[in-house]
Amino acid sequence: MNTASPEHYDVIIVGAGMAGASLACALTRPGGAGQAAPSVLLLEAAPISLDGPAQQPGFDSRSTVLSASSRDALERLDLWSAIAPDAEPIVQILVSDQGRFGGVRMNAAEAKVPALGYVAENTALGRGFNQALLCSDRFTLRANTRVRELKPVPGAMQLLLENSNDIMSAALVVLADGGRSGLAAQLGIEQRETSYEQSALIANIACALPHAGRAWERFTPNGPLALLPLPDFAGEHRCALVWTQPQAQAEAVLALPDAEFLARLHAEFGYALGAFTKVGKRALFPLRLTLASEQVRPSLALLGNVAHTLHPVAGQGFNLALRDTLALAHTVRAALVVGESPGAMRHLLQYQQSCASDQELTIGFSHHLVSLFSSNKPGRGLLRQLGMAGVEHVAPLRQALARQAMGYRRRRVDLE
């Protein structure tokens, strides 16, 4: 056992996935006069290097839609320049309900922005984030380091590491461990889970025609199907598929030979992209809404998936986490400016309050979208059709929806 005083920081972040990595950059970015940046340690269980693909589990074969407001935020955090070359702008979103007339089209030109959002493969995000983490000298990064236990002590939180006698402590520990490490559970924080009994099947699809910056979201009786524009690669036009289906059906479709898989996809989507010519590696993600019973405690805050894991239907999980991240960084710096601990409940409650309505609206939006569009209950189909026709034909409604998709407007969208 190490008996020396623990290594102490203002903030220790557990987990260098997208949420934790963004927070390290947000906390330590150069501030205004008199704004001393906090001392920050970022701990990550996976190894991090620029040789080969990123090893953190979140930087897998999925793709992520970054809203226009997330792009602005990543730019301010000096993360965007490393991501931009691999990010495809979305200039039009087409939402439709399979087998029914009507649909909604949202256009970047109508919203007077260069793009409604951007799509990047998580492997490319991993390269960009890790490059920024390894190049920054504003915080300390310890990769290949798994936190075993958290212990509340007066005015701080202590961390015990796996395979090490080192003890660390911080005025504030931010858990950004993705919710699967069990650290929140050790502290008695419950993860309240609602299973959608659906899985998202993801894969990259090569297609004969260029996507021209269009993103499709098609609601089918089995669940939503999204095709998102990706940058061309090796002369091929590509889209990222996120195909939500009931669990057993998703497993069956996952196992189909390539030609049958593409035929099934054509049957659901049609030929707006010409023939689908190739499907890349397929993977399944079981879908659930998970909400932590507490997001703050003295010297502790939960961020990203460990605080809230959303259905990916509206592509909001990381976008919401990034808005939380900016609010938390602001709170920490504001506490330090007045000489107070960033782990004091007074500040953490302010942080929580500043995020509450955005979290409620964003989580509610994704959740109600799933229940409205994945349901065949009498009346829901008509409601969907009326809703879409209304949005399509009323320009201000369409613009409001586009602003929601871009992450610029956070207001209640009650579709029930």
Ligand X SMILES: Cc1cc2nc3c(=O)[nH]c(=O)nc-3n(C[C@H](O)[C@H](O)[C@H](O)COP(=O)(O)OP(=O)(O)OC[C@H]3O[C@@H](n4cnc5c(N)ncnc54)[C@H](O)[C@@H]3O)c2cc1C
Query: Measured from the CB atom, is 224 or 312 closer to ligand X?
Result: 312
Work out which of 128, 178, 229, 342 binds ligand X, going by CB under 6 A. Answer: 178
CA distances from 321 to 81, 202, 288, 299 (A): 20, 21, 17, 19
Q: How far is the CB of 181 from ligand X (least distance, A)?
A: 3
Q: Closest by alpha carbon to 292, among 182, 414, 398?
A: 182
Which range in 83-91, 254-262, 266-274, 313-321 contacts ligand X by CB under 6 A? 313-321
Query: Measured from the CB atom, is 324 or 392 closer to ligand X?
Result: 324
Work out which of 8, 100, 138, 146 binds ligand X, going by CB under 6 A. Answer: 146
Q: How far is the CB of 233 from ligand X (least distance, A)?
A: 19
Q: How far apart are CA 192 and CA 177, in angstroms?
A: 17
Beta bridge partners of residue 66, listed in sequence order: 118
**Per-residue x/- track, 266-285, ligand X (CB under 6 A):** -------------------x
CA distances from 18 to 25, 185, 328, 411 (A): 11, 21, 15, 25
Measured CA angle at 244 (ends 392, 113), to 5 deg: 40
Work out which of 318, 351, 365, 373 binds ligand X, going by CB under 6 A. Answer: 318
Work out which of 19, 68, 104, 150 binds ligand X, going by CB under 6 A. Answer: 19
**Per-residue x/- track, 184-213, ligand X (CB under 6 A):** ----------------x-x-----------
Work out which of 204, 299, 316, 331 binds ligand X, going by CB under 6 A. Answer: 316
Query: Can residue 242 be called a binding residue for ligand X (CB under 6 A)?
Result: yes
Q: How far apart are CA 410 and CA 416, in angstroms?
A: 18
CA distances from 402 to 19, 153, 160, 382, 410 (A): 24, 46, 45, 22, 11
Token couple for 188:
């008695």
Q: Closest by alpha carbon to 326, among 3, 11, 24, 17?
A: 24
Total residues at the site for ligand X (CB under 6 A)?
A: 37
Query: Interface residues with ligand X (CB under 6 A)?
Result: 14-20, 43-46, 56-58, 62, 64-65, 146-147, 176-178, 181, 183, 200, 202, 242, 285, 304-305, 312, 315-319, 321
